[in-house]
Amino acid sequence: MDTMNPDLVTGIAGVLIGGILNGSFVAPMKRMKGWEWENTWFVYSISGLLIIPWIAAFYAVPGLTGVLSAAPSAAIWKVILFGIGWGIGSVLFGLGVARLGLAVGYGLILGLIAPIGTFLPLAVLYPERLATRQG
C-alpha cells in the first residue's frame, strides 16, 4: 500500500481549513448583536490579518527573519502597499456585509469582485488582447 505524501495531506488540510474559515468568518457578526461593527471587525483584523498569518509564516518558512532581511527593500515596500490595499478592501467588504446582510452582501460583493478582479488586470496590463480570443 502506498503512503500518502505528507505535503499533499498538509496542502489538502490547508485548503479545507481555509475554505471553512472563508465561508464562515462573518458568521460571528450575527451572534454579537451587542457589539458595534467596528469592534467585531477589529478583533477579526488583529487575529486574522496579523497574528495568525505571522504564526503560519514562522511555521511554514524556516529562517523567516533571514528571508525578510535578505529581501530587497523595494519588494518589502510593495508588499506593505499591497497589504494596505488588501486591508482597505477588507474593511470595505465588512462594511458592505454589515449594511446589506450576510447572504445578500456576501453574494453581491463576491459576485462583483470576481469578474472585476479578473477583467481589470487584463484590461490594464494587456488591453490589446481584449478583442482577441485569448481575452
pLDDT tens-digit profile, the chain (135 residues): 567 788 888 889 989 998 888 777 667 767 777 888 778 778 878 888 889 889 999 998 999 999 999 999 999 999 899 888 888 888 888 888 888 887 888 888 888 888 888 888 888 888 888 888 876
Q: How far is CA 64 from its chain centroid?
A: 21
Assess contact for 57 and 64: CB atoms under 8 A: yes
pTM over 0.75? The answer is: no
Residue 35 buriedness (CB in 10 A; 0-12 / 13-18 / 19+): middle
Report helix, strand or coil for 58.
helix
